[in-house]
Amino acid sequence: MATEIVVPRLGWSMDEGTFVEWLKADGEQVNAGDMLFVLEGEKAAQEVESFDAGLLYIPAESPRAGDTVLVSQVLGFLLEEGETPPEYKPADAPVSSVLDEPNVTPPQLDKSEKSSINRAGRRNIASPRARRKAKELGIRLDGVSGTGRNGRIRERDIVAAAENGVVKPAGTASSAVIAPTQSGTLKPLTNVRRITAQRMQASAQQTVPVTLHTKFNAKGLIAYRDSLKSSGMTPSYNDIIIKLAANLLRECPELNACWTAEGVYVYDQINIAFAVATDNGLLAPVINQVDKLMLDDVAEYSTELIEDARAGRLGEDQLTGGTFTVSSLGTFGVDHFTPVINLPQSGILGIGRIVAEPLVEAGEVIAGQTMSLSLTFDHQVLDGAPAAHWLQKLVHALTSPREHIS
């Protein structure tokens, strides 16, 4: 009996992905455990393993490289020797934008509702769960921006709108992207770019960000790292800062938390996400329970994750679960910047470059080296004073790392 090859769900919020390539040829023998195809999920491309064996049959109408595919969509079949392939039914292209929407008689609309829909240019596309949640919370769909494909409204969009008070009054025009006014070329969005844009928009809507900037004498940090060069793997400056930040987050738990409608949700574990620039876009792999790791472990994990990120080998599980984020632009010659909070979190630390400049010590001007830090925090979760006090503690630890790294 033929075994269907279907699109798996790589992450809890994944509804669709991008088919990248087959790793086996049509008609080739596939064994259980073989890597069968590559699928790009919300943040990374991942090889998908076959759990069954058989001869691979790839229908002529099956998705091609770059095509958008839905979770559970059939891609092909594994057949027994001499077995006739079953009929293949390609997924209808529009399905992804209106998936699981019931076929109902359109309700009668009053004039205000009709005018609202006419101005928007089309009706709101929402899943049944989103519609039920909207009805339960008394929210009008024309005031909600959908994060699904083609603007489809999901249940979490309704919840986010209710929690953050961003629902538009009935009859107001929905927000729209201003169209280009000059000739140019449209670059299609990759999954990574699309998801990054959605998360940045969500962060802007759901947080009240404030950024604090500071600068400190990096002499002690540089000396500490230099002293480690003779031992095994030399940690980067980022590794040292990640470790010290994790150690200090217990002293300001609100920075290892997120905002919810019911209150501040403080995470039990300290899992640090750190930004990695790749050819496919920005990724933020996660090191779990950093406060319980040795510095050597942090350096080893970060090196492996960076290599995997740039080689496209990261799995979805390596990109989720972060409770605080660290981002560095120091290698690009940047001093201060404004990092964007990575939801669902309340804080992100930006690392600037180390630069040679005059310093004053004991009333004397000397040649020194400084580093800049930028802390963005959600003012809904904590106030400026505790955030500044935590940043001050981090700076103090970085001037003498050996005394603070366990």
**DSSP assignment of 133-159, as one string?**
HHHHHT--GGG----SGGG-B-HHHHH
pLDDT score at 143: 67
Write down the residue that tokens 């039920």 correspond to: 132
Structural domains for the chain: 3-91 (2.40.50.100), 100-164 (4.10.320.10), 209-403 (3.30.559.10)
What is each CA distance from 395 to 220, 351, 374, in whole angstroms? 11, 12, 11
- According to DSSP, the β-strands at 324-328 and 347-361 are parallel
Instruction: Tell me which of 188 and 238 has the higher pLDDT.
Output: 238
Give the C-alpha separation, 356 to 353, whole Å. 10
Of the listed ranges 117-126, 240-249, 271-280, 394-403, the least confidently predicted one is: 117-126
Which pLDDT tens digit goes with each residue over 220-229? 999 999 999 8
Tell me the pLDDT tens digit for each residue of 26-38: 999 999 999 999 8
Q: Quote the CA–CA distance of 70 and 97 in Å, as a whole number.
A: 10
Taking the C-alpha atoms of residue 86 and residue 232, their distance in angstroms, rounded to an integer, is 57
189-216: per-residue pLDDT in tens? 777 788 888 889 889 999 999 999 999 9
Q: Give pLDDT, residue 159.
A: 79
69 bridge partner residues: 17
What is the residue whose two structure tokens read 């060069």?
A: 229
* pLDDT score for 62: 92
User: How far is residue 305's CA from residue 238's CA, in Å, rounded to a whole number?
Assistant: 13
Condensed to tens digits (0 to 9), the pLDDT of residues 275-322 reads 999 887 889 999 999 999 999 999 999 999 999 999 888 888 899 899
DSSP state of 43: S
* 337-393 residue pLDDT tens: 999 999 999 999 999 999 999 998 888 999 999 999 999 999 999 999 999 999 999
List b or e across 269-304, with b for residues whose CB sees 16 or more CB atoms inside 10 angstroms.
ebbbbbbbbeebbbbbbbbeebbebebbbbbbbbee
Return the pLDDT at 12: 65
Average pLDDT over residues 156-185: 67
User: pLDDT at position 354, please?
Assistant: 96
Residues near 306 by beta carbon (within 8 Å), at least 6 away in sequence: 276, 285
Q: Is the CB of residue 218 less than 8 Å from the CB of residue 352?
A: no
**Phi/psi at 242 (5° precision):** -60, -45
Tokens (6 digits) for 114: 């009709």
Query: Interhelix angle for 128-137 vs 155-164, to 10°?
Result: 30
pTM of the entire predicted model: 0.68
For the stretch 37-95, pLDDT in tens is: 988 876 677 889 999 999 999 999 999 888 888 888 999 999 999 899 999 988 754 33
> Do β-strands 276-278 and 272-274 pair in parallel, antiparallel, or remain unpaired?
unpaired
Cα(28)–Cα(139) distance, rounded to whole angstroms?
Answer: 53
For residue 275, which of 216, 357, 334 has the smallest C-alpha distance?
A: 334
Per-residue pLDDT tens digits for 85-133: 999 988 754 333 333 333 434 444 444 444 333 333 344 566 667 776 7
Q: CA-to-CA distance for 363 and 113, rounded, in angstroms?
A: 71
Element holding 34 (H helix, E strand)? none
